[in-house]
Amino acid sequence: MAQTKPLLRALAGETLPTPPIWMMRQAGRYLPEYRATRAEAGDFLSLCYNPDLATEVTLQPIRRYGFDGAILFADILLVPQALGADLWFVTGEGPRLSTITDSAGLAALRPAADIHETLGPIYQTLRNLSGALPPEVALIGFAGAPWTVATYMIAGRGTKDQGPAHALKSQDRATFEGLIDLVTDATIEYLSAQIDAGAEVVKLFDSWAGSLGAADFEAYALGPANRIIAALKERHPDTPVIAFPRGAGAAYEGFARATGADCVALDDGVSPEWAARHVQPDGCVQGNLASSHMVTGGDALVSETRRIVEALSGGPHIFNLGHGITPDADPDNVQRMIDAVRNDQEPASS
């Protein structure tokens, strides 16, 4: 069955006449059905850890839109929580964590192998989804990449410039690298368990990779991705991996070769024409419509969607946004995007 799924065919290197489609954050607040289920759960973490409700919100965009991929509903900060960090969400402001800023804080965290009891409900959600998805839809697991996860663990929250993580890297390199190593080990354990539970492809989100300078990018974005992917390939040689070093710019070129990733996801900071020349020769690419089009819609949405499809039509491509869909997006614009990829071959009006 796996080889008949369009998304897995693209990840295997096949150039398809119509690229498969899914969206980052496709289960989210822009959908009224998601908001209703979130209200039933009571809060965000309760939704993540309730397998029945997490299954439901994962399925909602599949029912509505017929995407080719369903991504597990969870959060990248569940791994720090499983390692022993305190995690909570502040309404309207986002996540908060207890901070790791010295060797004592690092030493107090759990070993990577001890995360699975906390994360058991996430694995159950995947098992639920394996039996509930349409046969043509691929099940995607995911985790945050070590650098991005570490930035939250060090600062205790999201920051605009990842300043606290950069400061710890400069002032206490041993603690910083120890944290990167621990999160890397935990990510291998987490993604491997997701695959055991039914994930057919996994994605590594390095949302803040773009804030790393060249040497640090190699050490803390490329290096951990290589280590994670190599370990996963040893355990699960047939499971493809998507890597997303957001903000990598020119460093997208060669990322697949250097890490072993089967696909590189692109943000909208690079053009699809550039990606076709510099990234796609190494394998599948994913992306990269600006998520703002899901808010503004109109002819620009249709024409830019077609431009991306055309530019990347010479090789394996998964259509997606360059970043997650935002809560203020119009659900109708998502359908317009899908129609522009799959069905609508007429030129956009000028």
Query: Which tens digits make up the pLDDT trace of 147-161?
Result: 999 999 999 999 999
Judged against a pLDDT cut of 50, whether residue 106 lies above it is answered with: yes
Per the DSSP assignment, residues forming a β-bridge with 97 are: 87
pLDDT of residue 92: 82
Determine contact, residues 97/87, Cβ cutoff 8 Å.
yes
Q: In what order do the strands lie in the sheet with 241-245?
A: 69-71, 138-144, 201-206, 241-245, 263-265, 284-289, 317-321
Site of tokens 């050490």: 219
Indicate whether 91 belongs to any domain: yes
Phi, psi of 63 (to 5 degrees): -65, -45
Indicate whether 140 belongs to any domain: yes
Looking at residue 209, its amino acid is A
How far is residue 111 from each of residues 20, 97, 141, 185, 203, measured CA to CA in Å? 38, 18, 22, 9, 23
**Tens digit of pLDDT for each residue in 195-246?**
999 999 999 999 999 999 999 999 999 999 999 999 999 999 999 999 999 9
Indicate whether 223 belongs to any domain: yes
Judged against a pLDDT cut of 80, whether residue 72 lies above it is answered with: yes
Query: What's the pTM value of the predicted model, to 2 decimals?
Result: 0.96
H-helix segments, 42-172: 44-48, 51-65, 78-83, 103-107, 116-132, 146-155, 163-171
Per the structure, how many domains does the chain have? 1
Residues 172 and 178: their CA atoms lie apart, in Å, by: 10
Indicate whether 232 belongs to any domain: yes
Determine contact, residues 271/308, Cβ cutoff 8 Å.
no
**Tens digit of pLDDT for each residue in 308-318?**
999 999 999 99
CA 176 to chain centre: 23
Determine contact, residues 237/200, Cβ cutoff 8 Å.
no
Nearest of 296, 291, 289, 348 to residue 318 by alpha carbon:
289
How far is residue 245 from each of residues 17, 40, 163, 317, measured CA to CA in Å? 27, 34, 18, 17
* Catalytic sites, residue numbers: 25, 29, 38, 75, 152
pLDDT of residue 344: 64
Judged against a pLDDT cut of 60, whether residue 347 lies above it is answered with: no
* Residue partners of 238: CB distance under 8 A and separation at least 6: none
**Tens digit of pLDDT for each residue in 22-67?**
999 999 999 999 999 999 999 999 999 999 999 999 999 999 999 9
**Tens digit of pLDDT for each residue in 6-25?**
999 999 999 999 999 999 99
Phi, psi of 268 (to 5 degrees): -90, 15
Indicate whether 349 belongs to any domain: no
**Banded model confidence at residue 166, pLDDT cuts 50, 70, 90:** very high
92 vs 185, residue with greater confidence: 185
Nearest of 322, 244, 319 to residue 65 by alpha carbon:
319
Indicate whether 189 belongs to any domain: yes
DSSP-assigned letter for residue 282: G
Residues of the chain above pLDDT 70, percent = 97
In this prediction, residues 273-298 reach a mean pLDDT of: 98
Residue 153 domain boundaries: 2-342
Judged against a pLDDT cut of 60, whether residue 1 lies above it is answered with: no
**Banded model confidence at residue 91, pLDDT cuts 50, 70, 90:** confident
In this prediction, residues 91-100 reach a mean pLDDT of: 92
Indicate whether 296 belongs to any domain: yes
CATH number of the domain where residue 240 is located: 3.20.20.210
Indicate whether 83 belongs to any domain: yes
| Average pLDDT score, the chain | 96
How far is residue 335 from each of residues 30, 65, 97, 236, 263, measured CA to CA in Å? 13, 7, 36, 35, 25
What is the maximum span of the chain, computed from C-alpha positions, in angstroms?
Answer: 62
